[in-house]
Amino acid sequence: ERVGFAIVGLGRLALEEILPAFGESKKARPVALVSGSPEKMKTVAAQYGIDPANCYDYANFDRIRDNPAVKAVYIVLPNGMHREYVERAARAGKHVLCEKPMATSSADAQAMVDACAAASVKLMIAYRIQYEAYNLRLASLVRQQTFGRLVGMSAINVQTVAENGAQQWRHKRALSGGGSLPDIGLYCLNTARFLTGEEPVEIFATQYSPPNDPRYAEVEETLSFTLRFPSNVLVNCFTSYGARDDKCQRLNFEKATVDMPNAYLYEGQRMTVIQRQGDATGQTELVLQQPNQFTEELDHMAECVIGGQRPRTPGEEGVQDHKLMEAIYRAAESGQPVRLPPVEKPDAFR
């Protein structure tokens, strides 16, 4: 029996990626929908064979408590709404999968962790890159020191936004919590922590937003930050809404360079290893099986619900990212480095 999920919020990600990804899942299935738009919900329910009796709106969502078919709730709303819906799902006794960024502040994120702990339900944050085949392989190459010590990493996540997009929730601080950093720069931050298995101890940052552009009245356009980790791996990150789409990472090891030109895409990752071969420099393309990363993520949550394990990307992971993003903004605003106390990681490779 596959674990039944309720999907809360039928926006672009839910309709274009998450609902289709259930089609490949052997462990999870969509059984309920929550939306403010009855017409859209009716169409989507018919498309995925969801019982109209399992369709809720934002007001009667709490009645999901009485629906035993729903074991887990997937929150796919604007960031500023995550806390309220995670807490309501927890109070209804349902396990929760929440989209990234977890919230709009570390205080809200911590409150969400506490609410799920109090209700004895699991909380997982949808860090899909931690379930993606190429990034998983890269993490093990770092951990096994296959190419020697990891010396540095560069990570870029740039996504062009519409010129007339100022009214979109991503440009409203109350709903987004920030601009390019929490939306897409978070992939650079979270993946650097995932790949190294370490927590940064020092952060430098600087930012820029074009003046008089209504899209950047409340949130930043472009931000650059450097992370120093305890092992002295140095990581340069760059994120922006203002340039052509680019989602790449490059890792500089003692004995090789590993290049991923499309590291954070929904699919189609590639990986090239550049290293000395005899007297010349050789390039090897690593080709892996690549299951749908959204399906892998849903299946992991379903396994945790069935087996009672803690998710690999629990709420605490989201709290830590929010603390670090707050430190990044502090560094950018002050022009000073921000030093952070060392954090004990429970295990090296979660």
Lookup result for tokens 């309709």: 15
108 binds ligand NAD (CB under 6 A): no
List the beta bridge partners of residue 97: 74, 124
Q: Which is nearer to ligand NAD, 135 or 252 (CB)?
A: 135
126 binds ligand NAD (CB under 6 A): yes
Q: Which residue is nearest to ligand NAD (CB)?
A: 11
Look up 187 and say whether it is catalytic: yes
**List 56, 74, 131, 187, catalytic entry:** 187
Pick from 3, 6, 7, 10: which binds ligand NAD (CB under 6 A)?
Answer: 10
- Cα gap 56→61, rounded to integer Å: 5
Pick from 50, 64, 73, 76: which binds ligand NAD (CB under 6 A)?
Answer: 76
Query: C-alpha 108: how far from its chain's center?
Result: 17
Name the pairing type of β-strands 234-240 and 150-158.
Answer: parallel
Pick from 2, 13, 137, 314: which binds ligand NAD (CB under 6 A)?
Answer: 13
Q: What is the DSSP letter of 173?
A: H
Query: Residue 259, SS3?
Result: strand
Q: Which is nearer to ligand NAD, 136 or 274 (CB)?
A: 136
Q: What is the DSSP letter of 2?
A: P
Lookup result for tokens 């650079």: 188
178 binds ligand NAD (CB under 6 A): no
Q: Which is nearer to ligand NAD, 48 or 169 (CB)?
A: 169
- Cα gap 50→298, rounded to integer Å: 18
Q: Which is nearer to ligand NAD, 104 or 252 (CB)?
A: 104
Look up 247 and say whether it is catalytic: no
Number of residues that bind ligand NAD (CB under 6 A): 18
Q: Which of the residues 240 through 299 are near ligand NAD (CB under 6 A)? A: none
Closest approach, Cβ 14 to ligand NAD, in A, equals 6
CB contact at 8 A, 298 and 21: yes
The runs of H, that is alpha helices, within the chain are: 12-13, 19-22, 38-48, 82-91, 106-118, 133-143, 173-176, 180, 186-196, 293-307, 315-334
Q: What positions carry a catalytic annotation?
A: 100, 187
Binding residues for ligand NAD, rule: CB under 6 A, are 9-14, 36, 76-79, 99-100, 126, 128, 169, 175, 183
